[in-house]
Amino acid sequence: MHQIRNHLATLEIMLLKISEGGLLSNILDKCMHVLSIFSAVINLFSKNMSTAVENFQVNMVVLDSHHWVPLPSVGFPVSGTNEESLDDVTPPSFLMEHPPIAVFINGVSAAMNDLRPCAPVSLKHILAYEVVNGLQAVSNSLLQYSIVRVLRGSDSPLFLSLCQAFIEVSPPISISSLFLILQWANTAVAVMNTVVMT
């Protein structure tokens, strides 16, 4: 983010001094460099989200030979969020009962961790689109699984529990993580503006 800020500051200074083609070429080079940084960030995030979905789908294939067994409750709430936990994006422990969902959330967390040092606030809509695409792909995989697979009577409630865990955990954690990273990036930009102004 600091490099981008430096490039933009240089661009602002150089725009006032354009009197020949060489300077215009230099400005164009700097702009292309900034665009390549944004492109790299988007590509990396998109790749990481795709990997999270692929890992989820691999774990769903493993479920074909899986015998659904209810795990004993260990005292963690299965649903619901309270106001105090909105900034907490730690996945709940009960996801261990649902390995494909846990793998997906782990992949989303990895994608967010890679995004954290260089989150471009101006690309928030594109990044949000990638998150929504990942969530939609997992949702489609669950729907496909329920259509194609014939679950035994006792397996059906357990599969529905997996689906419920996905609905209750994946969107809030994914969206909250992105929001917190972009909020942090926004704060960093404000601090940089304050430093540059003084």
pLDDT band at 143 (very low <50, low <70, confident <90, very high): very high
Mean pLDDT, range 163-169, rounded to an integer: 93
pTM listed for this prediction: 0.70
Q: Scan for tokens 């995989």, then name that residue.
A: 141
Burial of 171-181, coded b for 16+ CB within 10 Å and e otherwise, reads eebbebbbebb
pLDDT of residue 79: 45
Say if residues 41 and 120 touch (Cβ distance below 8 Å).
Answer: yes
For residue 20, what is the DSSP state?
A: S
Instruction: Write out pLDDT tens, residues 53-82.
Output: 999 988 887 666 555 555 544 444 444 444
CA distance 75 to 147: 32
